[in-house]
Amino acid sequence: MKIAVTYENGQVFQHFGHTEQFKIYEAAEGKVVSARVVETGGSGHGALAGFLRGLGVDTLICGGIGGGARSALAEAGIQLYPGAAGGADAQVEADFDDDEDDEPAEKAAAPAEMGELKLTPRAKKYMKDNGIAAADVSSIQGTGFQGGITERDIKASPLARKLAEKTGVDLSTVQGTGAGEKIMKKDVERAAAAAASSGSDELQIASVVPYKGVRKIIGDKLAHSKFTAPHLYFTDAVDTTNLTAFRKQLNENSEVRIAVSDLLIMAACKALKKFPGINVTLKEDQIVTYKSINIGTAVAGDNGLVVPVVKNVQNKSLTDVAAESKDLVARAKEGRLKPEEYSNGTFSISNLGMFGIGNFTAIINAPEAAILSVSSVRKTPVVITDENGEDTIAIRPMMNIQLSVDHRLIDGLLASQFVEYMKQLLENPVQILM
């Protein structure tokens, strides 16, 4: 079985007739076994329908689509799921989840005109926006006022509607997890179970969402890293007095705003040059040391944790890094990064200072061998030794840094030298640019 999704930057593209890419999924036994992105090589619904037929596609998931395109796909024998939005992979997974529960397809209904149907205004708009023909909803039993067909009715699968009637679940209160937020049987089952438990002494559930998509990918990667690579940790405290003053001075003359994270990237680059044994990965039975210094910074976006990578930092200036990093982070938060922009990293930095975290331990971003965690700046009493060797206590802005390393590749001595050099650079930031 082959499933095609209109595709752009990991998302479902919303205009079928203008899509420049499809993501093609090969499926067997209810699971995706492979996926690839293909260029369309044509435009217009007729050409695109023929293109999909030539690839042997059985099913299309898309956003908006017109009547002519629907006819062309029907002639090509391609099943259509319009009105999808969000991540392409998530929509395909949701489609599979419901396939197991679907009843045999109903016989094609006689053509129906929009005026013959009792539709709510929102339902009419939804059909218009997503190119849904009246014939496709003529068999739906409406749950609205006096049997009117609502937007939720259209977005619910036949089996979900039947189960909702049986269990008394109000579809307007159910959040769909299928393509285009389509309400599946499992969504109604969760809503029914939650309603049954309310008012009892049993544990009440606010919501249940599938553990899949980006969240599952991140979880699987972290679990593999944590339980495959023996982690070893090295922590030190950094006095940020000079770092703060240096950054302020830079921003007085820089056309690009310099962030603390930019100075961290540049400092890490210089430290990796001095200690290349940190800039390594394990590939099969070989320890690979890289000349390229590609540094990733962990960013929390709408679709989960992403680590955009600044490539070849060793060849770039501070302002180059600042401009590139700012662009990458902004697009990462919006879910617009290309795969190559968050891959091929050799070292990562996880900075939670802006969230007020005093100290934390980061899990290595496999297949890299090390990650630096950076905590918030806090005023702390510290012992200061003056030029005469006299000790005094002073209040200083202190920041914890911690290096997590794969102990299979990196020994404790090397890791401790790296951390101490990072401390030296951050406390004497002029050295970062020397």
Residues 55-108: tens digit of each pLDDT:
888 888 887 777 777 878 888 888 888 777 777 887 777 665 544 444 443 333
- pLDDT at residue 144, rounded to an integer: 66
* Sequence-distant contacts of 333-339: CB under 8 A, at least 24 apart: 333/299, 333/300, 333/301, 333/302, 334/301, 334/302, 335/9, 335/10, 335/11, 335/87, 335/301, 335/302, 335/303, 336/9, 337/9, 337/10, 337/306, 337/308, 338/9, 339/10
| Residues 201-210, mean pLDDT to the nearest whole number | 62
- Residue 263: pLDDT band (50, 70, 90) is very high
Which pair of tokens denotes residue 154?
A: 């259209």
Q: Per the domain annotation, does 407 fall within a domain?
A: yes
Looking at 162, 197, 232, which one is the last position of a domain? 197
Clarify whether residues 399 and 330 are in a common domain: yes
Clarify whether residues 181 and 129 are in a common domain: yes
Cα three-residue angle 211-368-305, rounded to 5 degrees? 35
Clarify whether residues 168 and 242 are in a common domain: no
Strand, helix or coil for residue 71: helix
- pLDDT at residue 112, rounded to an integer: 47
Clarify whether residues 82 and 147 are in a common domain: no
Higher pLDDT: 317 or 329? It is: 317
Clarify whether residues 143 and 183 are in a common domain: yes
Clarify whether residues 290 and 418 are in a common domain: yes
Q: Per the domain annotation, does 105 fall within a domain?
A: no
Structural domain that includes position 57: 2-99
- pLDDT at residue 273, rounded to an integer: 96
Lowest mean pLDDT among 28-37, 116-125, 197-206, 421-430: 197-206
Q: Per the domain annotation, does 108 fall within a domain?
A: no
Taking the model in full, what pTM does it have? 0.55
262 is catalytic: no
Clarify whether residues 157 and 13 are in a common domain: no
pLDDT tens, 350-375?
Answer: 998 888 899 999 999 989 999 999 99
Domain count, the chain: 3
> Which residue has tokens 């909803």?
137
Contact of 213 with 392, CB cutoff 8 Å: no
Which pair of tokens denotes residue 183?
A: 């309400």
- Round to whole Å and give the CA distance between 27 and 39: 20
- pLDDT at residue 383, rounded to an integer: 93
Clarify whether residues 157 and 270 are in a common domain: no
48-52, 123-127, 133-137, 200-204: which is most confident: 48-52
CATH number assigned to the domain comprising residue 264 = 3.30.559.10
Looking at 99, 123, 154, which one is the last position of a domain? 99
pLDDT for residue 279 is more than 70:
yes
Cα three-residue angle 277-280-282, rounded to 5 degrees? 125
407 is catalytic: yes
> What is the DSSP-derived secondary structure letter of residue 334?
T
| Residues 245-253, mean pLDDT to the nearest whole number | 94
Clarify whether residues 71 and 146 are in a common domain: no
pLDDT tens, 320-353?
Answer: 999 999 999 888 887 788 888 888 999 999 998 8
Contact of 260 with 318, CB cutoff 8 Å: no
1-5, 93-97, 183-187: which is most confident: 1-5
- Residue 304: pLDDT band (50, 70, 90) is low
Torsion of CA 214, 220, 225, 231, to 10 degrees: 100
Contact of 269 with 297, CB cutoff 8 Å: no
Clarify whether residues 190 and 228 are in a common domain: no
- DSSP H or E segment with residue 321: helix 318-333
- pLDDT at residue 201, rounded to an integer: 57
CATH number assigned to the domain comprising residue 24 = 3.30.420.130
Higher pLDDT: 271 or 40? It is: 271
DSSP code per residue over 244-272: HHHHHHHHHH-SSPPPHHHHHHHHHHHHH
Candidates 102, 129, 302, 411; catalytic one: 411
Q: Per the domain annotation, does 302 fall within a domain?
A: yes
- pLDDT at residue 303, rounded to an integer: 56
Q: Per the domain annotation, does 203 fall within a domain?
A: no
Which residues lie below 8 Å from residue 108, measured CB to CB, with a gap of 6+? 135
| φ, ψ dihedrals at 408, nearest 5° | -70, -30
- pLDDT at residue 401, rounded to an integer: 97
140-144, 217-221, 268-272, 338-342: which is most confident: 268-272
The pLDDT > 90 percentage for the chain reads 37
Clarify whether residues 125 and 38 are in a common domain: no
Q: Per the domain annotation, does 207 fall within a domain?
A: no
- Residue 386: pLDDT band (50, 70, 90) is confident
Clarify whether residues 53 and 187 are in a common domain: no
Strand, helix or coil for residue 368: strand
Mean pLDDT of the chain: 82
Looking at 197, 231, 246, which one is the last position of a domain? 197
Q: Per the domain annotation, does 155 fall within a domain?
A: yes
Strand, helix or coil for residue 382: strand
Q: Per the domain annotation, does 107 fall within a domain?
A: no
